[in-house]
Amino acid sequence: MSFTLDQIKTFRKLDYPPDLYQFDTIAAGIEDGFEHVSDEDIEFFHHQGYLVVKDAFNTAEIESAVEGIHNLIEKKYSDFRGVQIEPKLLKQVDDLTPSQYRNAVRKVYNYLDYEPLLKEIFYAPKLLQIVAQMIDAQPVHLQDMALLKPAGFGTEKPWHQDCAYFNFSLGETVVGVWIALDEATANNGCMHVIPGSHKAPQLHFKKRDWQICDTDIDRDKDVLVPLNPGSVLFFDGMIHHGTAANHSDQQRWALQFHYRSINAVNITAEERLEIFGAEGKDVTC
């Protein structure tokens, strides 16, 4: 049995300002896949910090990715540990039925060495070819995740810059690739980006997550990125982005990959926090 409406209501408290995400401006995108991405589009990516490519993966490729995620959640690989459920349900994880557990998964990560169906899409030549142009060097694996926003109570991912999580110096472009596996809409928690916000690091705070302060977000510039399954959002690792809670009755599954340049330089966590951390800087949020 899945969750009852009463259960869903108790998981669903909104814990951020209702106008933190804006829904008026919708991202435009390149039609019909990667082969239509031009040099001007790569320029657009560098200026604006994001690029949308519609219908980049076909139905068979998306079904195969979904099957890969099911394999991981349903424990096909006995020593795989990269499954995280919705934080709000953590306390009752042992009481969930198998179907409730499946519907409560929020994140699956570090799976490339386990699931060949997902490794295939991570290293798809047609995708890497675009990423290489954006990075202007050989792309190297940085992170692999599947981000699943459960229907009814999927939590927000507050505004942040992904590079605030990565121990690499800021000289080289990090590319995030977000691939919709379901229809991602304004209602079920599609991506939001702030164009042009990738040019400088922003202080992060430990609030609802490791995030940018709600009051430091240029909400008027929020661009919504609804995507149909198989469409892709490329985003610079420095762009301000986030996703609102999913209170709709539609789940929202996506893959999120990150690639760095082969030339990227490692830094320590302390050096990263010198750049992105608010600690000791006499600022509050």
Q: How far is the CB of 281 from ligand AKG (least distance, A)?
A: 23
Q: How far is the CB of 39 from ligand AKG (least distance, A)?
A: 27
CA distance 118 to 62: 10
Q: Report residue 271 as tokens.
A: 């050096």
Count of alpha carbons within 13 angstroms of residue 283, beta-carbon side = 15
What SS3 class is residue 221?
Answer: helix
Cβ closest to ligand AKG, residue 68 vs residue 237 = 237
Q: How far is the CB of 167 from ligand AKG (least distance, A)?
A: 16
Q: Which residue has the tokens 């991570």?
A: 122
Q: Report residue 9 as tokens.
A: 């209501």
What SS3 class is residue 207?
Answer: coil
Cβ closest to ligand AKG, residue 48 vs residue 243 = 243
- Identity of the amino acid at 144: D
Q: How far is the CB of 172 from ligand AKG (least distance, A)?
A: 18
Cβ closest to ligand AKG, residue 55 vs residue 86 = 86
Cβ closest to ligand AKG, residue 204 vs residue 241 = 241
Cβ closest to ligand AKG, residue 57 vs residue 116 = 57
Taking alpha carbons only, the member of 35, 71, 33 closest to residue 179 is: 33
- Residues forming contacts to ligand AKG in the complex (CB under 6 A) are 147, 149, 157, 162, 189, 241, 243, 254, 256
Cβ closest to ligand AKG, residue 4 vs residue 191 = 191
Q: How far is the CB of 173 from ligand AKG (least distance, A)?
A: 16
Counting beta carbons within 10 angstroms of the beta carbon of residue 99, is it exposed (0 to 12), middle (13 to 18) or buried (19 or more)? exposed
Q: How far is the CB of 243 from ligand AKG (least distance, A)?
A: 4
Q: How far is the CB of 162 from ligand AKG (least distance, A)?
A: 5
Find the helix packing angle between 39-48 and 125-135, rounded to 10°. Answer: 60
Q: Report residue 64 as tokens.
A: 């195969």
Taking alpha carbons only, the member of 226, 217, 227, 229 closest to residue 285 is: 217
Neighbours of 81 (CB within 10 A): 9
Cβ closest to ligand AKG, residue 53 vs residue 164 = 164
